[in-house]
Amino acid sequence: MLRSTRNLALVVFARAVSRLGGSAVWFIGVWGTAAYTFGATPRQLATLSLANGIAAIAGSLTAGVLIDRYGPRRVMVGAEVLSIPPLVAMLHTDTFAPFVVFAALYSLFGVPTWTAGASFAPYIVEGRKPLEKANAAIESGAMLGFVFGPAVAAVLSERVGHPAVFVFTAITCVLAGVAAWLTRIESTHREHAPSHPWRDFTSGLRLAYTTRSLRYYILMGTAVWFGFGAFSALEPLFYRDVVGVGVEWIGYMNAAFGVGLVVGAQSLPRLPDAVVSARGLAVTTMLCGLGTVLYVGSTDLRLIAAGGLLWGVVIGALEPLLRTLLHLDAPHAFVGRIVGTAQWHRNAGELIPLTLVPALAASLGIQRTLIAGGLVVTVIAILGYGTARTLDKAAAARTPSTSPTGPLPESV
């Protein structure tokens, strides 16, 4: 496999620029427009998040099949290009209902850029440690984009005007697409003969759900994003109604959160080897749940910023950790579909709470509802620790194969 530093640098740049635009338009463009321009209620924000989540699930599942057929490079380029028309449409929409539709279309094409970016590492490096370092570098790039995206969008919104955020994101789509196109990966088509797309799709799901380790990793990732589900509907309202600040503070505080993400991602290759394990994932998931409480447990902006920073460090380490574990146990020809399955579980995890969030916010309050979501994630991680221990013992007992991405997964 290729080990080119140039290729990795291009992938890191593509992920960074793509996430820069994506976080800018999501936090300030989409959420900000819905909450501050359209005056959306919790139920309307939940509807917006639901529509985006369903579209994201469709996009990630489709992207997984396409990546295994054509490689992450082509999929990322195509997805970046197709993300531009919905951005232009949102820019010219002045009512809430069509705005929701165009935002969902942006998610349909935008989420595959995440899936493709998350699938690059096994195409450009091989071996456990190189995968850790590559995933840490790629996620660090994405998280740098997350740091600066909301902050840049906040400044643009304040000084130039809200529409500038959508134009800015369209420009980042072009830049990310060019960087991805210039990347040279090991192959553009998978090594075995392609079959029917539906058979490709179902075989990927079957492998993900019948392989014990892959199933556990995917479900732990789902638990983390389950805790994020309430934020999709309530975070703008937390700042507007609980903290009592303007839309720009959504960007500034998420920038602090993003700094933590970068620090956490960079720390993974420096942590003990034992961390890259099912137990390491369980502990990190538990800390993610507790980090939620730190973030929204106060209305003091200084404490919110500190909590967001610490929470970001934990999630920053979790993202490349989860991805490395998936890459190690997924056969190379299935990497795209396994990552796509994990991605759609992430989106589904964010959707599930939306059925309860408006009612819970009305009865418990916005802040208490957000805290409760974090505590649920913590409990799930604690309950799953025994399974993680069993998986690690089984992995230690297996004889490593010569597979380029690590030991063969254990199925049941």
Q: What is the pLDDT of residue 343?
A: 86
Place of tokens 């140039």: 6
The answer as to whether 190 is a domain residue is no
d(CA 23, CA 152): 10
290 pLDDT higher than 90: yes
Of 20-29, 146-155, 196-205, 244-253, which has the strongest mean pLDDT? 20-29
Nearest to 71 by CA among 202, 206, 186, 207: 186
Residue 411 lies inside a defined structural domain of this protein: no
- pLDDT per residue over 109-155, tens digit each? 999 999 999 999 998 888 778 888 999 999 889 888 877 888 899 88
Residue 334 to residues 65, 66, 99, 217, 372: CA-CA distances in angstroms?
9, 11, 36, 16, 36
Does 3 have pLDDT greater than 60? no
**Alpha-carbon torsion (126, 127, 128, 132), positive or negative:** negative
- What DSSP letter does each residue of 185-244 carry, written as one string? -S-SS-SSPP--HHHHHHHHHHHHHHBHHHHHHHHHHHHHHHHHHHHHHHHHHIIIIII-
Q: Quick check: 396 pLDDT over 80?
A: yes
Structural domain including 215 reads: 5-184+195-397
pLDDT, residue 128, reads: 78
40: CATH: 1.20.1250.20
**Whether pLDDT at 349 is above 70:** yes
The reported pTM is 0.81
Q: 209-229: b or e for each residue (b if 16 or more CB lie within 10 Å)? A: eebbbbbbbbbbbbbbbbbbb
Is the pLDDT higher at 192 or at 100?
Answer: 100
What is the model's pLDDT at position 39?
87
What's the confidence (pLDDT) of residue 335?
A: 92
Specify the number of domains making up the chain.
1
Task: Quote the percentage of the chain above a pLDDT of 90.
Answer: 48
Read off the tokens for 190. Answer: 């998978």
**DSSP secondary structure code for residue 176 in this structure:** H
Inter-residue contact 230 to 357 (CB < 8 Å):
yes
Is the model's pLDDT at 193 over the cut of 60?
A: no
In a 13 Å sphere around the CA of 58, the CA atoms on its Cβ side amount to 12
Whole-number pLDDT of residue 229: 75
Which range of 60-64, 190-194, 273-277, 280-284 scores highest in mean pLDDT? It is 280-284
Joined tokens for residue 86: 């919905």
Helices then strands (H, E): number in the chain?
17, 0
Tell me the per-residue pLDDT of 297-314, one tens digit each, with 9 for 90 and over. Answer: 999 999 999 999 999 999
Instruction: Return the pLDDT at 311.
Output: 92
The per-residue pLDDT for 251 is 74
Q: Is 387 part of any domain?
A: yes
- At residue 412, the pLDDT reads 44
Alpha helices in 25-71 (DSSP H): 31-32, 42-70
User: Mean pLDDT, the chain, as a whole number?
Assistant: 86
Tell me whether residue 284 is in a domain: yes
For residues 409 and 210, what is the distance between their CA atoms, to the nearest angstrom? 10
Q: What percent of the chain has pLDDT over 70?
A: 92
At 356-389, the pLDDT tens digits run 777 888 899 999 999 998 999 999 999 999 999 9
Task: Give me the mean pLDDT over the 209-229 stretch.
Answer: 90
pLDDT of residue 182: 93
Q: How confident is the model at residue 227 (pLDDT cuts 50, 70, 90)?
A: confident
* CA dist list (Å): 185 to 10, 117, 123: 11, 12, 6
Q: Which residues does 59 contact at the CB level (< 8 Å), separation at least 6?
A: 79, 107, 108, 109, 110, 111, 112, 115
Q: What is the pLDDT of residue 187?
A: 55
